[in-house]
Chain A
Amino acid sequence: MSEMIDIALTVNGEQVRARVEARRHLIDFLRLDLGLMGSHIGCEHGVCGACTVRVDGDIVRGCLVLAASLDGARVDTIEGISDTGEIRDLQDAFIARNAAQCGFCTPGMLMAAADLLKHQPQASREEIREHMSGNYCRCTGYQAIVDAVETTAKARAAKA
């Protein structure tokens, strides 16, 4: 039992060992300890969705997960799923639809949208809105974001 905890985990496919403060949340760990600045800190209490990342394949609020609890876990961030090409089409659709304005919410939006496309590839606009409702865009560019997700869903369905 300690204020400093040793963890070994996989981040974007790479093995990482670290000693973290018990109170350090996942996003501070990613940004400050690993230099992965793609995940953003907005509200820091679980409301805004800017810090959405994957833990063991499922999206989570990074600010509501302690790094100390992630020994043995697999973490994937916007940097990782960009590098693998998993969301290239979704990112292209965001650009085509001008779905990123100031860009602050965009990494979280992409993580949440990728999760929806994986689990509900046939999602309707209503279902897209519902799934994305935990991610805030203070530019209020929701229409374009929903457009981009819908475009990607339809394009993937046509290819399948």
Chain B
Amino acid sequence: MKAPRFSYVRPASLTEALNLLAEKGPEARLLAGGQSLLAALAFRLSDPQVLIDISKLPELTGVTRVGDKIRIGAGTTHSALGRDALIASAVPLIAQAIPHIAHPAIRNRGTIGGSLAYADPAAELPACVVALEADLVARSKTGERRIKAADFFTGLFSTALEPGEILTALEVPVASASDRCALVEVARRSGDYAMAGVALKATLAGDRIIAIRPVFFGLGDAPVLAHGAAQALTGGPPTGERIAAAKAALATDLDPPGDQHGGPEMKRHLAGVVLERAIARMTNSEARAA
């Protein structure tokens, strides 16, 4: 179907974009890569009066190291993240996530900020930033604030962003030598949204897990940090017994709604499968995490 009528404007600077957003209010939608928004418009699920195109804003792109953090501009495309040497070495969880996101033609346009702000519960990057304890940077006309990733996703396609705010960047701690990470998902076809998936980051001492953050996607209305499973895995090596206890804990950690792929029981089963595979990948690979 064709999109409904709307106006379009491409501001030249972030300041101009923020002014436009404040002026137009809820009738405006921000257009970043457009890989979800333009599909939603084609379905007429959204009816904005104006699209403010922020995809070319220089303030929003690039990956830089700032102290012990990596700053990722919200407008950085998935493809750019996938070939970035700093992401590969310092934020390997995001590097692992990229090949799972849709297909090359979509990764060339889609942006990390767009994915986070859209907050699809089955998307990989929201789960990654929660696992990584990233800070999300939001700008408005009145200033800038940082939102913890764990507080950012407030429900189905909803976030802590206020009207008039633009997500400009995220800041992720640099992986240390004792960190490990893994991202595993199950999808019917390569590039599809996951039926169930997990992004996890762990800190090891020898073979002992000192801390772990398994964050599930496709299993709730937002990324879900599995506290019970984390507790079951913390304090020792990931033995069969501990993994079984972690999988059992998912019964209370997760309350997945059924969807087109299957009912809650199947989703719970898949959650256990991806958790077990992710722990195997994390311990088998020497890849440092983060």
Query: Do chains A and B interact in one complex?
Result: yes
Residues of chain A having any CB pair with chain B under 8 Å: 1-3, 5, 21-23, 25, 28, 44-46, 49, 52, 55, 58-61, 63-66, 68-69, 71, 112, 115-116, 129-131, 133-135
Given known A1-B9, A65-B38, contact A22–B104 (CB-CB < 8 A) = no
Stretch from B39-47, B58-66, B153-161, B173-181 contacting the other chain: B39-47
Interface residues in B1-57 by Cβ distance below 8 A to A read 1-10, 20, 31, 34-35, 38-39, 41-43, 50-51, 53, 55
Is B105's CB under 8 angstroms from A133's CB?
no
Most A CB contacts (10 A, CB to CB) among B4, B35, B105, B106 go to: B105
Contact B189 A1 (CB under 8 A): no
- Shortest CB-to-CB span from A49 to chain B, Å, is 7
- Assembly CA distance A44 to B2 (angstroms): 8
**Top 5 closest pairs, chain A to chain B, by CB:** A134-B103, A22-B8, A133-B190, A58-B108, A45-B39
Closest-by-CB residue of A relative to B43 is: A45
Contact status B35-A1, CB under 8 Å? no
Residues B104 and A115 in contact, CB atoms below 8 Å apart: yes
Q: Which residues of B contact A (CB under 8 A)?
A: 1-10, 20, 31, 34-35, 38-39, 41-43, 50-51, 53, 55, 79, 99, 102-106, 108-109, 189-191
Task: Contacts A49-B105, A133-B190 given; indicate if A58 touches B79 (C-beta within 8 A).
Answer: yes
B39 touches A64 (CB 8 A): yes
Which residue of chain B has its CB nearest to the CB of A5?
B8
> Quick one: closest A residue to B105, CB to CB?
A59
The A contact surface, by secondary structure, is mixed
Docked-complex contact A69 and B55, CB < 8 angstroms: yes
Between A and B, 16 residue pairs with Cβ closer than 8 Å are A3-B5, A22-B51, A23-B4, A44-B2, A64-B109, A65-B34, A66-B31, A66-B38, A69-B53, A115-B104, A130-B99, A131-B104, A133-B190, A133-B191, A134-B191, A135-B103
Chain B residues whose C-beta falls within 8 Å of the C-beta of A21 in the assembled complex: 5
Residues on B with C-beta less than 8 A from A59 are 104-105, 108
B39 and A46 contact, CB distance less than 8 A: yes
Known: A3-B5, A22-B8, A58-B79. 4 other contacts (CB 8 A): A22-B5, A45-B43, A60-B109, A134-B106
Contact B9 A23 (CB under 8 A): no
Contacts of A133 in B (CB 8 A): 103, 189-191
Q: Closest CB-CB distance, A114 to chain B, in whole Å?
A: 12
Evaluate contact between B42 and A44: CB separation under 8 angstroms: yes
CA distance A71 to B35 in the complex (A): 19
* Nearest A residue to B3, CB-CB: A23
Q: When chains A and B are docked, how far (Å) is the Cα of A60 from the Cα of B34?
A: 11
CB distance from B239 to the nearest CB of A (A): 33
> Which of B20, B31, B104, B108 has the largest count of A CB atoms less than 10 A from its CB?
B104
* Shortest Cβ distance from B35 into A: residue: A64
Give the docked Cα–Cα distance between A130 and B191 (Å).
9
Measured between alpha carbons, how far is A78 from B41 in the docked complex, in Å? 26
Hey, which chain B residues are within 8 Å of A23, CB to CB? 2-6, 41
Contacts of B105 in A (CB 8 A): 49, 52, 59-61, 112, 115, 134
B166 to chain A, nearest CB (A): 17
